[in-house]
Amino acid sequence: MNKNELLALLQPDIEQINATMRTEISQCGNELLGKIVEYALFNGGKRIRPVLTVLSARLCVFTSMPEGLAQEDELQPPVNLYRLASIFEFLHGASLLHDDVIDKAGMRRGKPSANKVWDNTHVILAGDYLHTSAMTMAGTIGNETILTLIGTATAAMIRAEFQQMQTVEERNLSEENYFSILRGKTGCLISAACEVGACFAKGNEEQRLALRSYGDALGLAFQVVDDLLDYQGDSGKTGKAVGNDFVEGKITLPLIHALKKGEHEKSDQIIGLLKDDASVRADNIGLAKAFIEEYGGFDYARQGAEALVEAAIEALSIFPDCQARQILIGLAQYVLTRQK
């Protein structure tokens, strides 16, 4: 399944998700608040999280249907599933709004970021509004289990942000620490998006666990590829400067591996750069890339991403073959080929 086929299959759900989000936003009760929230949510996001919720639910429903009772494409998800799915986009939007304030960002996806169009006050409050709405929806459209899954994932995101700040400070170079941060920052919310879909569709324990594992591996693979693209991507496509992570002192998998394998002298030189100013690192991106290449850091990370995608697909093997499963497999495979 190539990217265009995937997009075509996802389009109807994405449209429903967008329509649902617009309805929710229109009920926020303050015009300016609605404008900011809409600006944050409709900025070209791929809706990957809510789509995972819808597909996971559909997969569990299809699996539980007596054979031949319904064609899969007749399984119209109830409106509430789209509302439930949009929670993940709300939470994602809330964290992007707060990130923009934190990073004093100027641009987001090629447009001025919300904190530039309005100000920190409005943007922090709009983030809080999305957060509150999402949590209320989680416990009312969903249930106690769903609320707990989402609350746990959100708390894990915040802890991972703290862990990442400490990592930069302590220059912690372990692969374990790296994956722990990835899981908190991205993996938890993605695996929760999948598991919540399964919960909503009354999937059994095995199905919930399988979809959770799928989401976990997918989220990690996505981030490892992100970290590879940071060094190897085409900045015209990614929209980010090459080597940005290194300049910021962020130590990602390719570098972690190379530092472990590299000769002492060369490794020490790179560690010296990590202790230096960002401007010095900016002048030495070429050196860092050559070092990572020499000690197989890029290959190692690429293989790691491939193994994660394989694990994601393997987790789906308990489900019968159907379109929802094919799309989920297609999404996992796409992670390895994406260039932005």
Q: Is 269 in the site for its own copies (CB under 8 A)?
A: no
Q: Is 105 in the site for its own copies (CB under 8 A)?
A: no
Q: Could you say which residues in the range 165-224 bind its own copies, by CB under 8 A?
A: 165-166
Q: Is 151 in the site for its own copies (CB under 8 A)?
A: yes
Closer Cβ to its own copies, 123 or 331, answer by number: 123
The binder of its own copies chosen from 128, 206, 248, 277 (CB under 8 A): 128
Q: Is 155 in the site for its own copies (CB under 8 A)?
A: yes
The binder of its own copies chosen from 148, 172, 235, 269 (CB under 8 A): 148
Contact mark string toward its own copies, 11..50, x via CB under 8 A: -----------------xxx-xx-----------------
CB distance 322 to 62 below 8 Å: yes
Write the DSSP string, 52-99: HHHHHHHHHHHHHSPTTSS-GGG-PPPHHHHHHHHHHHHHHHHHHHHH
CB distance 219 to 187 below 8 Å: yes
Closer Cβ to its own copies, 99 or 314, answer by number: 99
Q: Could you say which residues in the range 62-81 bind its own copies, by CB under 8 A?
A: none
Alpha carbons within 13 angstroms on the beta-carbon side of residue 339 total 6
Distances in whole angstroms, Cα of residue 156 to Cα of each of 125, 247, 250? 21, 26, 19
Stretch that binds its own copies, among 12-20, 98-106, 232-240, 264-272 (CB under 8 A): 98-106
Helix (H) or strand (E) run with residue 336 in it: helix 323-337
Stretch that binds its own copies, among 130-138, 185-193, 197-205, 232-240 (CB under 8 A): 130-138
Cα–Cα distance, 64 to 203 (Å, whole number): 8
CB distance 122 to 32 below 8 Å: yes
Q: Is 154 in the site for its own copies (CB under 8 A)?
A: yes
Closer Cβ to its own copies, 99 or 293, answer by number: 99
Distances in whole angstroms, Cα of residue 214 to Cα of each of 21, 26, 60, 253? 26, 34, 14, 21
